[in-house]
Amino acid sequence: MPVEGNTKALLRKVEGLRAEIHKVIVGQERVIEELLVTILAGGHGLLRGVPGLAKTKLVRTVAEATHLSFKRIQFTPDLLPSDVTGSEVLEDAAGAKSFRFLRGPVFVNLLLADEINRTAPKTQAALLEAMQEHQVTVGGVPHPLPAPFCVLATQNPIEQEGTYPLPEAQLDRFLLCIAVDYPAEDEEIAILKSTTGHEAGPVTPVLSVDEIVELQGLVRDVPVADDLVRDVARLVRASRTTEAGLPSVKRWIDWGAGPRAGQALLLSAKALALLSGRFAVSRADLKRLAAPVLRHRLVLSYAASAEGITADEVVRQLVDGSRL
């Protein structure tokens, strides 16, 4: 199905957004693409990478290049749930006492949850309702969050001291787990040059809130062939130890992915197709996004750890053994 003129104009603005991001961020094409997929699909993203790879700067730059409201929370061990969601305060006005809800930083379009695994589980859980229901309930009263609402969280995968593992229920709420790798040599040279001289020019916002909401609606309209939907279901089901599948893969998995993984793969593939100027999902789109969709949804076994098998390797074998 051809892409209509208005949609083409919006997609040109998305390309303009990429250009604005690259004023600050060198390289990282795959990471930027997956970040845009996350936003256009209306999901949340978990950026995993060692310190110094510009994860926080990337999210800030995306916020500066759009008209989305933006806030950053530095997650620390002493952070309280009310520091995220907000709290009720008792007011005394003209002798009449009443409670008033003070909104926390979660009431924003784009929330950067920096080093999300550095805070206690109780505070991590404060984001669960916000991420799934797009609302916060305080004192029995639901408070809707603005639309669109997106959480982009960062995590350092190599540091264990003073961290709290993210529960599987929360990991499952992230549409994509975006692996942020070291830059290539030429990219690192460009980074050294650009960050030790004069600062680059200011980033110009190119997408409005309404345009992003419209793009998110267009993503939902992208069709997927029935045979591809069945193949996605088979892929996700093959990751479960209760299903008949590859014996070698099953040895490496304790718990497989749930139905939300299939939803995430289809929705993110729709966003990727639209970003590529196509109004139909291809098999290549699904293969491209299988790893970021599944890598954080698989609980690997001790055998996998002992053999040095990573989640990405398991996903690769699942894809190879499926019809994708």
Q: d(Cα 252, Cα 241) in Å, to the nearest integer?
A: 10
Nearest to 270 by CA among 218, 200, 323: 218
One-letter amino acid of 173: R
Q: What is the pLDDT of residues 99-114, one digit of tens each?
A: 778 888 999 999 999 9
Strand residues in 141-232 grouped as ranges (E) = 141-144, 150-155, 176-179
Threshold 0.95, pTM exceeds: no
**Cβ-contact 234, 323 below 8 angstroms:** yes
Please list the ranges in the chain whose pLDDT falls under 50. 1-2
Supply 199's token pair.
């600062």
Nearest to 129 by CA among 112, 107, 114, 110: 107
Local structure of residue 126 (DSSP, 8 states): G
Question: Rg of the chain's alpha carbons, rounded to an integer?
Answer: 21
Place of tokens 């599987």: 168
1-194: CATH architecture: 3-Layer(aba) Sandwich (3.40)
Please measure the distance between the N-terminal and C-terminal CA atoms of the chain and give it in whole angstroms.
22
User: What is the enclosing helix (H) or strand (E) of 16?
Assistant: helix 5-21
What's the pLDDT at 86?
A: 87
Supply 16's token pair.
């303009």
**Which residues make Cβ contacts (< 8 Å) with residue 218, sequence separation at least 6?**
7, 10, 274
What's the pLDDT at 1?
A: 46
Q: Measured on CA atoms in the order 111, 117, 118, 120, is the torsion positive or negative?
A: positive
**Cβ-contact 323, 239 below 8 angstroms:** no
Phi, psi of 94 (to 5 degrees): 55, 40
Local structure of residue 81 (DSSP, 8 states): H
Q: d(Cα 46, Cα 282) in Å, to the nearest integer?
A: 25
Where are the domains positioned within the chain? 1-194, 222-324
Local structure of residue 66 (DSSP, 8 states): B
**Cβ-contact 131, 218 below 8 angstroms:** no
Nearest to 64 by CA among 21, 34, 29: 21
Q: What is the pLDDT of residues 154-180, one digit of tens each?
A: 988 877 766 888 888 889 999 999 999
User: What is the enclosing helix (H) or strand (E) of 264?
Assistant: helix 259-275
Q: d(Cα 227, Cα 233) in Å, to the nearest integer?
A: 10
Residue 101 CB burial class (10 angstroms; 0-12, 13-18, ≥19): middle
Instruction: Please state which of the four CATH numbers 1.10.8.80, 3.30.830.10, 3.40.190.150, 3.30.200.100 is assigned to the domain occupying 222-324.
Output: 1.10.8.80
